[in-house]
Amino acid sequence: MILWIQNLFARRPGWVLGGLVAAFLLTALGGAVAMFLLLNLDRVNARLAKIMNTPAAQEQSDQRDYAWSTQTSALLSFDMARVELGDMNQGVMGGGVEGYGDGLIYVSSIGVIGYLDVEAGELMYFDERVPMDYERVRNQVLFDKSQFQLRYFRVHDIMVKADPQGRDWLYVSHHMMPPGDDTICQAIHKIGLQQTENGIALDSAGWQHVYTVKPCFNMLDIGWRFIGDVSGGRMVPFGPTTFLYSVGSYMFAYNAGGVEQIRSDDTDLGKILEIDSQSNTASIYAKGFRNPQGLVRAADGTIWETEHGPMGGDEINLIERGEDYGWPMVTYGLNYGPSDWPFSDDQGRHEGYKKPVHAFPVSIAPSQLVEVAPGSEFERWSGDLLLGSLKAQSLFRLRMDQGRLVTMEQIEVAERMRDMTWLENGWLAVLTGNSSILLLRAASQNEQPHQAVRLTGYVAVKSLESELAANLRSGSYGRQLFAIHCATCHNLGSEPAPGPSLGGVVGTRIGRNAEYNYSAALQSADGRWTRAKLKAYLADPDGMYPGTSMPQTGMPLDDYSVRALVDYLATTDAPEDAAN
């Protein structure tokens, strides 16, 4: 009896509570009031549900409800619900999702593996982790490296693929750093996977190595400036035992000898590889890519790819075996600054190489692609490609015709969209940059649009969040901001870098380093950098010194963040050879 009441409470807490209240009143106050409550249980239930679904109540509850909202596009309306996954990223950018069974597999940017069972209404996480040894690498190796951007050592993508014997495998593309070594590698591992009565299970035999990208990166050689977000890392099934895998250029075009490494067929940089999962070998399928973030094989066999350009020049490409797409020799974008792209003889052109189907003159930061299959509940989108974006925070619907982009519709969703996958029930699931999943369904296909998505498992989620936060060193907020917004171009020491050293910058002369090509306004500026001047400069470089600009490295800094960054810079020391 007790177990029956517990189960009923989990499914209909309002009915149980209302019934208990009515039973009490029957005993204490008489039948009239109790009978009124029993006849109005729906109203009581609705009132209790409203109380229990407040943010404060949900924060302490194992159960959460996520309401649907309806959005309109050019051809159809769709419902969307935003589902929280818990903070399994700890400030790192990455991760992936893949539909499997009655829900989806989620792997966070730091290698935490979870399963969202949509049918059963449960969110769960496994003890198993991706073999990137994230906690050791972050706490013991990377934490005190001011140049290293912690958010870029990450998981890139996941894929589920069956072998010829019909056994399912979960593939994960990720960074790793071998113990006792100063090199970072981009690698792929896989683990056996199966559906069970309770959701899914991972093979107890553990992980198997599939492939390591060449070359690995010696951090001492590049001053710990690791551009891990220009890594590609997308996977898509191809043949019975093969899959396609994208590898980025890691901004090597700016390094001495970097152009040659990207162009060389002896490295995997800037390539799409065809990898055989049985022999663990790879061959070059196509080359000439900067940062390929989206990859899909359509039903007709066509392979589509999207990639980030430099400053503008994001691309949509139709991928053909053996073709060269030109990076870093050509781009429709510009160098950061902005300035001319240094390796192109004809700015804004793409001559001599395979051209993109479409290029965006203003960056949208495209991410993953999916195809809307025939028979989908999104009937009017049938055959279209859906493209997620990070910077534009929009879903782009692309209609192709014989390899040509015919129409493109931008649908704003106000979320950074990192990955997408279809669920077995026909819904589209989108992984956002805010540790959440957007669930999309066609509005006309659902008779109960107001029935919320109900999930359980959040007590365990909160516990895991606390465990991760306690185990991972985070450092000062200002130091994190320096790594995110400054370390790509600047360092704190005397090592060569694209921009001048910021070590001990507070109190030094403005434009102190004669080796750098400052704007005319900065070159002629008098005085020294004070905290107030640095804060004003970071808030508006061109307004303070006309003609001066800095590349955008993420979300704009608010006043609090600017102060925290300047306070951190004030604690650093100037290099010994720096002019004062």
Express each pLDDT in 178-214 by its tens digit.
888 899 999 999 999 999 988 899 999 999 999 999 9
Q: What is the chain's mean pLDDT, rounded?
A: 87
CA distance 372 to 346: 38
pLDDT, greater one: 309 or 150: 309
Who contacts 338 (Cβ-Cβ below 8 Å, separation ≥6)? 311, 549
Reading the block at residue 422, the tokens are 């279809």
Asked whether the predicted pLDDT for residue 368 surpasses 50, the reply is yes
Asked whether the predicted pLDDT for residue 306 surpasses 80, the reply is yes
Give pLDDT, residue 428: 98
pLDDT band at 548 (very low <50, low <70, confident <90, very high): confident
Instruction: Give the torsion sign (CA, 308, 250, 490, 522).
Output: negative
SS3 label, residue 345: coil
SS3 label, residue 243: strand
Give pLDDT, residue 259: 93
Q: What is the pLDDT of residues 473-521, one digit of tens each?
A: 776 778 778 877 787 788 888 776 778 888 899 999 988 777 777 888 8
CA distance 297 to 239: 11
Our measurement of the distance from residue 395's CA atom to the centroid of its chain's CA atoms, rounded to an integer in Å, reads 15
pLDDT band at 577 (very low <50, low <70, confident <90, very high): low
Reading the block at residue 519, the tokens are 């704007």
Average pLDDT of the segment spanning 148-157: 91
* 19-28, 253-262, 476-485, range with the lowest pLDDT: 19-28
Amino acid at site 80: M
Asked whether the predicted pLDDT for residue 465 surpasses 90, the reply is yes
- C-alpha distances in angstroms, 205 versus 128, 191, 193, 202, 278? 11, 8, 11, 9, 17
CA distance 11 to 16: 9
- C-alpha distances in angstroms, 154 versus 189, 494, 547? 14, 28, 36
pTM of the model as a whole: 0.82
Q: What is the pLDDT of residues 387-412, one digit of tens each?
A: 999 999 999 999 999 999 999 999 99
CA distance 150 to 429: 27
Asked whether the predicted pLDDT for residue 18 surpasses 80, the reply is no
Asked whether the predicted pLDDT for residue 41 surpasses 80, the reply is no
Reading the block at residue 535, the tokens are 């804060």
Asked whether the predicted pLDDT for residue 53 surpasses 70, the reply is no
CB atoms within 10 A of CB 9: 14
Reading the block at residue 232, the tokens are 């590609």
Angle at the Cα of 509 (from 572 to 492), degrees rounded to 5? 25
Asked whether the predicted pLDDT for residue 16 surpasses 80, the reply is no
97: left (phi over 0), alpha (psi -120 to 50) or beta: beta
Average pLDDT of the segment spanning 319-332: 97
Q: What is the pLDDT of residues 551-562, one digit of tens each?
A: 665 556 778 788
Backbone phi and psi for residue 62, each to the nearest 5 degrees, phi listed first: -80, -15
* 17-31, 222-236, 301-315, range with the lowest pLDDT: 17-31
CA distance 270 to 512: 37
DSSP structure class, residue 59: H
CA distance 529 to 513: 13
Q: Residue 160: which H helix or E strand, with range?
A: strand 155-162
Asked whether the predicted pLDDT for residue 323 surpasses 70, the reply is yes
CA distance 98 to 80: 18
Among the listed residues 133, 89, 81, the one whose alpha carbon sits nearest the alpha carbon of residue 107: 89
Instruction: Give the torsion sign (CA, 137, 91, 273, 346).
Output: negative
Average pLDDT of the segment spanning 89-101: 94
Average pLDDT of the segment spanning 156-171: 97
Question: Exposure pattern of 309-319 as b/e (b: 16+ CB <10 Å)?
Answer: bbbbbbbbbbb
CB atoms within 10 A of CB 535: 16
Q: Residue 455: which H helix or E strand, with range?
A: strand 453-456
DSSP structure class, residue 228: T
Beta bridge partners of 360: 314
Who contacts 350 (Cβ-Cβ below 8 Å, separation ≥6)? 326, 330, 331, 332, 356, 359
Among the listed residues 66, 310, 101, 97, the one whose alpha carbon sits nearest the alpha carbon of residue 196: 101
Q: What percent of the chain has pLDDT over 70?
A: 86
CA distance 82 to 308: 26
pLDDT, greater one: 304 or 29: 304
SS3 label, residue 49: helix
Give pLDDT, residue 25: 44
Average pLDDT of the segment spanning 62-73: 95
Give pLDDT, residue 36: 53
Asked if residue 310 has a cis previous peptide bond (ω within 30° of 0), the answer is: no
Average pLDDT of the segment spanning 212-231: 91
Q: Residue 367: which H helix or E strand, with range?
A: strand 366-371
Q: Residue 108: which H helix or E strand, with range?
A: none
Our measurement of the distance from residue 158's CA atom to the centroid of its chain's CA atoms, rounded to an integer in Å, reads 12
Q: At what angle do helices 31-39 and 13-28 cross, to 10 degrees?
A: 160
CA distance 179 to 177: 6
DSSP structure class, residue 420: E
pLDDT band at 8 (very low <50, low <70, confident <90, very high): very low
Average pLDDT of the segment spanning 443-470: 86
pLDDT band at 280 (very low <50, low <70, confident <90, very high): very high
pLDDT band at 4 (very low <50, low <70, confident <90, very high): very low
Reading the block at residue 367, the tokens are 């991410």
Average pLDDT of the segment spanning 101-118: 97
SS3 label, residue 487: coil
Among the listed residues 456, 461, 414, the one whose alpha carbon sits nearest the alpha carbon of residue 438: 414
pLDDT, greater one: 387 or 544: 387
Our measurement of the distance from residue 552's CA atom to the centroid of its chain's CA atoms, rounded to an integer in Å, reads 18
Is the Cβ–Cβ distance between 44 and 18 less than 8 Å?
A: yes
Amino acid at site 128: E
Who contacts 494 (Cβ-Cβ below 8 Å, separation ≥6)? 501, 575, 576, 577, 578
Is the Cβ–Cβ distance between 538 and 565 less than 8 Å?
A: yes
CA distance 489 to 322: 34
Give pLDDT, residue 554: 54
Give pLDDT, residue 2: 46
